[in-house]
Amino acid sequence: MEGDIATMGAYIGAGLASVGMGGAAVGVGNVVGNFLSGALRNPSAAAGQTATMFIGIAFAEALGIFSFLVALLLMFAV
């Protein structure tokens, strides 16, 4: 367990960056939750909107993926 301060900073930064994934979790939960509450009100219209839900999930998830990328860059590239 020895190393320099820069490595310590990189690892702490990687840990802090992964907090951003919580935001993606909130976003994805919001998308799916709202889709479900809409779908249960009008189940006949739900099937046509599944693709839209997945697009929404993908866009919400993208920003969480960026924080994951920052964490990975700090761990392996700096």
The nearer residue to another protein, 43 or 48, going by C-beta atoms, is 48
For the segment 1-60, give every residue that binds another protein (CB under 8 A).
48, 51, 54-55, 57-58
CB of 31 to another protein, least distance (A): 12
Q: What is the three-state SS of the chain? A: CCCCHHHHHHHHHHHHHCCHHHHHHHHHHHHHHHHHHHHHHCHHHHHHHHHHHHHHHHHHHHHHHHHHHHHHHHHHHC
Given 62, 74, 77, 78, the residue binding another protein (CB under 8 A): 62
Stretch that binds another protein, among 3-11, 27-35, 36-44, 68-76 (CB under 8 A): 68-76
CB of 16 to another protein, least distance (A): 18
Q: How far apart are CA 32 and CA 54, in angstroms?
A: 9
